[in-house]
A and B are shown apart, each in its own frame.
Chain A
Amino acid sequence: MTARIPPPPTDEPPILPAAFAGWFAGRGWTPRPHQIALLDHARAGRSALLIAPTGAGKTLAGFLPTLVRLTAEKAAAAGRIGGRAPARTGIRTLYISPLKALAVDVARNLGTPVLEMGLPITVETRTGDTPVHKRRRQKLAPPDILLTTPEQLALLISARDADRFFSDLDEVVLDELHALVTSKRGDLLSLGLARLRRLAPGLRFTGLSATVADPDGLREWLGGVTTPAELVTVAGGAKPNISILDTEERIPWAGHSARHALADVYALIKAHKTTLVFVNTRSQAEMLFHALWTINDDTLPIALHHGSLDREQRRRVEAAMAENRLKAVVCTSTLDLGIDWGDVDLVVHVGAPKGASRLAQRIGRANHRLDEPSKAVLVPANRFEVLECRAAVDGNYLGAQDTPPLKAGALDVLAQHVLGMACARAFEADALYGEVTSAWPYRELDRATFDRVVDFVATGGYALRAYERYAKIRRGQDGMWRVTNPQVAQQYRLNVGTIIEAPLLKVRLIGKKGAVGRGGRVLGEIEEYFIETLAPGDSFLFAGEVVQLEGVRETEAFVSRAQSDEPKIPSYAGGKFPLSTYLAAEVRAMLADPSRWPSLPPQVGEWLAMQRLKSVLPSRDEMLVETFRRGDRFYLVAYPFEGRLAHQTLGMLLTRRLDRLGLKPVGFVATDYAISVWGLEDMGRAFAAGRPTLGALFDADMLGDDLEEWLAESYLMKRTFRACALIAGLVERRHPGKEKSGRQVTVSTDLVYDVLREHEPDHILMRATWEDASRTLLDVGRLADMLSRVRGRIVHKRLERISPLAVPILLEIGREAVSGAADETILAESAEDLIEEAMG
């Protein structure tokens, strides 16, 4: 290869071959600077990270170096020996995307330049849907470019022929990298890339990513700590046109339905060509879709899309969308990533976006072209969400980003990878340790932990050495670890991957008098956790209909069409994503600064002004704690603004502590913004008397023993353990040739958890579970940051009655628990009382 020649500062790209330049010109395009920069880095053999907004032509940019290089090589070879390329045994370029649909999409898009320029390059996809015969053929006659997913990569490198298959590999292109790296899939991917580096020295990586908070971290993740990938950035195209819905209606104090804005949203849909309506949860999607159809007098083609729907139904919606046959689609995060949609000219976001970068990503779905501004309208569902939307809009204009930080790699994922590597070929522990720690997430993994993981893979890693004879991998005389029998590899292949679906139940529609347990049309799948909160007779929205639960049998939920149009079980949870740290800080700043209030709707400004009058508005670094009495209960309301997860954890810990202090707490409720605890004793008086002081109550030492104790018995831990046990291969999702005959023969991970907790609480998988839960479910890190932030800055306000700011959270009480229709009426009535009390 020739020495690197820096591109001269002209418009003429010397690095782009004439055929390609001609193709660009033929389409009326000029190669963009970032495309040239990537070609340049590729020629010099350097890995590169391209950060660009949607619509910047990322994918083509990512593949250009490969297309140019392969074309040149094939031309040279053709000139040499009678038009035949030299024999090779493996693929040249690997492309990895988080979605198989995206891989298929990219294959199609890549087909255009390959076909039009007549390039002698083969492109194929390999996903879970690829038929066996095609997979086999791909191994025998590999394409030049293979497009696949992280799970398929794990399978490919665990195969016995991995050495051969990847020996010719020059380049790996990673799409939507920002979406992959912060999850366990990202951990698995990083380990897979570490293996590829070993199989194909000199391998180059090209990462394609949306804007992230920490590009340097991502550069290291991609290129390695010592040789971070080169950064190529595309300035954000046209500034999106984002507004907050201007409505005549009264903005609700609490809730997530956004029903008040229904007519406005409908009018927006009517006025645009195609609208994507994003919401945060499946149930919100159902709710909104159903409500829109009740006022759809023009019978506009409005569709529904979320992950729980039957796959066929989703495909039909996607197809209709691509053909521009739909006026609007109500959707959840299933449409967050990648795929190109027809002519979307408006994105409506119902509910607060919870994070500015998620909002940017979703808005990027409109007008998938860089030069035209995207148009988006935010529809806050309640008053706090108005503040959040405002903060998100300001954040977007500021270009501030709040993508989650990179994190240390999960041990359960490492366990899966270790077994996979043993399946590929015998390994030596020292060498594998070196390879694993070359992956960014595992760079700080200590040797002792690595050895414990290997021991876990081999015999379960128990203090009681009971399973030597059942070992899955065993170290031979030569010091090499090998799988003990071929079934181990077979089992590994059946259970590969880190995506653990929440347990799902199939939803079947039966007649009113239909027999539960027999037949019925499948409507889709629903989380078991949700169904567990319902009693037979409870109605809820699913697949756009109001249905009533008739019963559950094994893995199927049976429902019938409900009589009423009003589902009994509301969409109670705010959403699965907690408020981001960045937005939380923005909301606190906005509360503290009345000069920013004029940008808010007048009713919201009034609400804040009233709060200042009746209670107090904390400055941006203070935390307000209000105490007051209502009826025969005493309330404490704190406003940390740290997101629902951290607040739930705080609520659990505060309740324990107040209980020990004899203040008799009865319950608590947490939202993204605040937490309220109520009890039988006057907490305000106790705090005023310093028994305890608020400083002591909110002391960070609650994160010690209290947390351990509570966690040990929490169902959240069991839920996390389940995922870790499945990923680590302790419990199988699928077993070769063995069909589950009923629920009694499956191993309950809850029981396994109880056994481990009793006998070996320090087991490596318990450690993995704890790390996982404290980070994701409990947000312990964020809670710790908050407690230290407010230390010495807690403002206590004892009130005669409820404050305006406290109304929303008190309205959530009872919403959390499932209650009957009568309760709903009572709730609505008392809601009005609360508001009068606070504002009067």
Chain B
Amino acid sequence: MNVAAAAMGGTERSGGAPAGLASARVGGVIVELHPSGALWLSATRTLVVADLHFEKASSFARFGQLLPPYDTAITLSRLEAVVAALAPDRVVALGDSFHDRGGAARLSAADLSRLSALVGGREWLWVTGNHDPEISDHLGGARAADVEIGGLVLRHEPSATFVEGEVCGHLHPALTVVGRGRGVRRRCFATDGHRLVLPAFGSLAGGLDLFDQAFARVLSRARTVAHLIGSERLYRIPLTAARGR
């Protein structure tokens, strides 16, 4: 494992890692976690974001819940910021990039042009998810059900059978920490050293508690470590030290 880590080490950006990044080991590969909720694979200069859920508000609006129509713009701003900070050569959107099939068609002109600039500015891969099995061609970028990068397998939904080094989204991990008599709930990265589940990146994407049964078939609870998203950094908390919410 050290060998793998050393092999990755040589490709670090000059001047060291950008501030706020935390590292974790997944399937023997050292990866870096960004406080925005994005995964950074520095060896291949690849940025991975999961569950953008663009146009979630307008999806709800169709059925009478008129949520604020600003979620896509906010998610785009966050994405632009992390892209500007890390300057990736490649971005992987790890599925559920749109909240529903019609999402891309509902993008406002302004949001569409911002998204196009992001997609057009570098290599872009849309991994398809359950909410968005098809991604419209007019958005640009490539499409795949899964992809292998630097010894890791990236796909939207965790495989039913164990896959060493699998990185996925779909589950929206979140965790509650208790202090001063009340709980603080945050989205988080979750890994047991073998697989990694990314937090949802979308501004209106909810969270699923890490103690939920859905995680039990993906991660070994005893070994699960959560990296909670703080305002400027990540907080590492082993699941055994946390509580069910």
Which residues of A line the B interface, CB within 8 A?
Answer: 459-460, 462, 464, 466-467, 470, 472, 487-488, 491, 516-517, 529, 531-536, 551-554, 572, 715, 730-732, 735, 742-748, 751-752, 754-756, 758-760, 763, 816-818
Q: How far is the CA of A488 from the CA of B243 in the complex (A)?
A: 40
A-chain residues with CB within 8 Å of residue B66 when the two chains form the complex: 459-460, 462, 467, 470, 472, 730
Contact with A along B168-210 (1 / 0, CB 8 A): 0001100010111111000000000000000000011111110
Q: In the complex the two chains form, is A760's CB within 8 Å of B68's CB?
A: yes
Q: Which residue of B lies closest to A763 (CB)?
A: B68
CB distance from A128 to the nearest CB of B (A): 23
CB distance from B53 to the nearest CB of A (A): 10
Q: Which residue of A lies closest to B70 (CB)?
A: A759
Q: In the complex the two chains form, is A758's CB within 8 Å of B70's CB?
A: yes
Looking at chain B's contact residues, is the secondary structure mostly helix, strand, loop, or mixed? loop
Q: How far is the CA of A748 from the CA of B208 in the complex (A)?
A: 11
Q: How far is the CA of A554 from the CA of B245 in the complex (A)?
A: 7
CB distance from A588 to the nearest CB of B (A): 29
* Most chain B beta carbons < 10 A, residue from A536, A551, A572, A742: A742
Q: How far is the CA of A472 from the CA of B180 in the complex (A)?
A: 43
Contact among A464, A715, A758, A818 with B178 in the assembled complex (CB-CB below 8 Å): A818
Q: Is B117 an interface residue, CB under 8 A from the partner?
A: no
CB distance from A395 to the nearest CB of B (A): 32
Task: A462-B69, A472-B64, A487-B63 given; name 11 further pairs at CB < 8 Å.
Answer: A460-B68, A464-B69, A531-B245, A532-B183, A554-B212, A742-B208, A744-B208, A754-B203, A755-B203, A817-B179, A818-B181
Q: In the complex the two chains form, is B203's CB within 8 Å of A730's CB?
A: no
A-chain residues with CB within 8 Å of residue B71 when the two chains form the complex: 755
Q: Which stretch (B11-19, B54-62, B142-150) binds chain A? A: B54-62
Q: How far is the CA of A467 from the CA of B68 in the complex (A)?
A: 10
Q: Is B226 an interface residue, CB under 8 A from the partner?
A: no
Q: How far is the CA of A743 from the CA of B205 in the complex (A)?
A: 11
Q: Which residue of A lies closest to B183 (CB)?
A: A532
* CB within 8 Å for A533 and B68 given contacts A553-B213, A748-B207, A759-B73: no
Q: In the complex the two chains form, is A536's CB within 8 Å of B243's CB?
A: yes
Q: In the complex the two chains form, is B204's CB within 8 Å of A755's CB?
A: yes
A-chain residues with CB within 8 Å of residue B213 when the two chains form the complex: 517, 553
Q: How far is the CA of A170 from the CA of B183 in the complex (A)?
A: 52
CB distance from B108 to the nearest CB of A (A): 7
Q: In the complex the two chains form, is B70's CB within 8 Å of A760's CB?
A: yes
Q: How far is the CA of A467 from the CA of B63 in the complex (A)?
A: 11
Q: In the complex the two chains form, is A533's CB within 8 Å of B65's CB?
A: no
* Most chain A beta carbons < 10 A, residue from B171, B180, B209, B244: B244
Contact with A along B6-41 (1 / 0, CB 8 A): 000000000000000000000000000000000000
Q: In the complex the two chains form, is B69's CB within 8 Å of A466's CB?
A: yes
A-chain residues with CB within 8 Å of residue B209 when the two chains form the complex: 552, 554, 743
Sample (10) of A-B pairs whose CB atoms are under 8 Å apart: A462-B69, A466-B108, A472-B64, A553-B244, A743-B208, A747-B206, A752-B67, A758-B70, A760-B68, A817-B181
Q: In the complex the two chains form, is B58's CB within 8 Å of A466's CB?
A: yes
Q: In the complex the two chains form, is B207's CB within 8 Å of A747's CB?
A: no
Contact among A488, A533, A715, A756 with B64 in the assembled complex (CB-CB below 8 Å): A488
Q: Is B81 an interface residue, CB under 8 A from the partner?
A: no
CB distance from B200 to the nearest CB of A (A): 8
B-chain residues with CB within 8 Å of residue A745 when the two chains form the complex: 206
B-chain residues with CB within 8 Å of residue A732 when the two chains form the complex: 64-65
Q: Which residue of A lies closest to B200 (CB)?
A: A744
Q: In the complex the two chains form, is B70's CB within 8 Å of A533's CB?
A: no
B-chain residues with CB within 8 Å of residue A755 when the two chains form the complex: 57, 67-68, 70-71, 74, 203-204
Q: In the complex the two chains form, is B64's CB within 8 Å of A535's CB?
A: no
Q: In the complex the two chains form, is B183's CB within 8 Å of A533's CB?
A: yes
Q: How far is the CA of A754 from the CA of B62 in the complex (A)?
A: 21
Nearest first, the 5 closest Cβ-Cβ pairs linking A and B are: A460-B66, A532-B183, A551-B244, A466-B69, A759-B70
Contact with A along B92-114 (1 / 0, CB 8 A): 00000000000000001000000
A-chain residues with CB within 8 Å of residue B4 when the two chains form the complex: none
Q: In the complex the two chains form, is A743's CB within 8 Å of B206's CB?
A: yes
Q: How far is the CA of A748 from the CA of B176 in the complex (A)?
A: 15
Q: How far is the CA of A470 from the CA of B63 in the complex (A)?
A: 8
Q: In the complex the two chains form, is B208's CB within 8 Å of A752's CB?
A: no
B-chain residues with CB within 8 Å of residue A730 when the two chains form the complex: 65-67
Q: How far is the CA of A535 from the CA of B208 in the complex (A)?
A: 18
Q: Which residue of B lies closest to A465 (CB)?
A: B69
A-chain residues with CB within 8 Å of residue B181 when the two chains form the complex: 533, 572, 816-818
Q: Which residue of A lies closest to B77 (CB)?
A: A758
Q: How far is the CA of A472 from the CA of B209 in the complex (A)?
A: 33
Q: How far is the CA of A320 from the CA of B132 in the complex (A)?
A: 58
A-chain residues with CB within 8 Å of residue B179 when the two chains form the complex: 817
Q: How far is the CA of A746 from the CA of B204 in the complex (A)?
A: 10
Q: In the complex the two chains form, is B244's CB within 8 Å of A552's CB?
A: yes
Q: How far is the CA of A107 from the CA of B171 in the complex (A)?
A: 52
CB distance from B74 to the nearest CB of A (A): 6
Q: Which residue of B lies closest to A532 (CB)?
A: B183
A-chain residues with CB within 8 Å of residue B73 when the two chains form the complex: 759
Q: Which residue of A lies closest to B62 (CB)?
A: A470
CB distance from B113 to the nearest CB of A (A): 16
Q: How far is the CA of A663 from the CA of B158 in the complex (A)?
A: 52
Q: Is B5 an interface residue, CB under 8 A from the partner?
A: no
Contact among A534, A715, A748 with B243 in the assembled complex (CB-CB below 8 Å): A534
Q: In the complex the two chains form, is B65's CB within 8 Å of A731's CB?
A: yes
Q: How far is the CA of A554 from the CA of B244 in the complex (A)?
A: 9
Q: In the complex the two chains form, is B183's CB within 8 Å of A759's CB?
A: no
B-chain residues with CB within 8 Å of residue A746 when the two chains form the complex: 206
CB distance from A456 to the nearest CB of B (A): 8
B-chain residues with CB within 8 Å of residue A535 when the two chains form the complex: 178, 243
Q: How far is the CA of A735 from the CA of B204 in the complex (A)?
A: 19
Q: Which residue of A lies closest to B171 (CB)?
A: A744
Contact among B70, B182, B211 with A532 in the assembled complex (CB-CB below 8 Å): B182
CB distance from A265 to the nearest CB of B (A): 28
Q: In the complex the two chains form, is B204's CB within 8 Å of A751's CB?
A: yes
Q: In the complex the two chains form, is B65's CB within 8 Å of A747's CB?
A: yes
B-chain residues with CB within 8 Å of residue A529 when the two chains form the complex: 182
Q: In the complex the two chains form, is B60's CB within 8 Å of A747's CB?
A: yes
Q: In the complex the two chains form, is A752's CB within 8 Å of B68's CB?
A: yes
Q: Is B87 an interface residue, CB under 8 A from the partner?
A: no
Q: Is B214 an interface residue, CB under 8 A from the partner?
A: yes
* CB within 8 Å for A747 and B204 given contacts A532-B176, A533-B178, A759-B73: yes
CB distance from B157 to the nearest CB of A (A): 13
Q: Which residue of A lies closest to B209 (CB)?
A: A743
Q: How far is the CA of A517 from the CA of B63 in the complex (A)?
A: 32
Q: How far is the CA of A215 from the CA of B181 in the complex (A)?
A: 41
Q: In the complex the two chains form, is A748's CB within 8 Å of B65's CB?
A: no
Q: How far is the CA of A745 from the CA of B62 in the complex (A)?
A: 16
Q: Which residue of A lies closest to B242 (CB)?
A: A535
Q: Which residue of B lies closest to A750 (CB)?
A: B185
B-chain residues with CB within 8 Å of residue A760 when the two chains form the complex: 68, 70
Q: How far is the CA of A551 from the CA of B243 in the complex (A)?
A: 7
CB distance from B106 to the nearest CB of A (A): 9
Q: How far is the CA of A551 from the CA of B211 in the complex (A)?
A: 8
Q: Which residue of B lies closest to A742 (CB)?
A: B208
CB distance from B167 to the nearest CB of A (A): 19
CB distance from B228 to the nearest CB of A (A): 15
CB distance from B85 to the nearest CB of A (A): 19
- Interface positions, chain B 147-171, Cβ under 8 Å from A, are 171
Contact among B57, B64, B180, B243 with A816 in the assembled complex (CB-CB below 8 Å): B180
Q: Which residue of A lies closest to B69 (CB)?
A: A466
A-chain residues with CB within 8 Å of residue B204 when the two chains form the complex: 747-748, 751-752, 755
Q: In the complex the two chains form, is A534's CB within 8 Å of B60's CB?
A: no
A-chain residues with CB within 8 Å of residue B205 when the two chains form the complex: 751
Contact among A531, A552, A731, A759 with B211 in the assembled complex (CB-CB below 8 Å): A552
Q: How far is the CA of A553 from the CA of B243 in the complex (A)?
A: 11
A-chain residues with CB within 8 Å of residue B57 when the two chains form the complex: 755
B-chain residues with CB within 8 Å of residue A763 when the two chains form the complex: 68
CB distance from B47 to the nearest CB of A (A): 23
B-chain residues with CB within 8 Å of residue A531 when the two chains form the complex: 245
CB distance from B175 to the nearest CB of A (A): 12
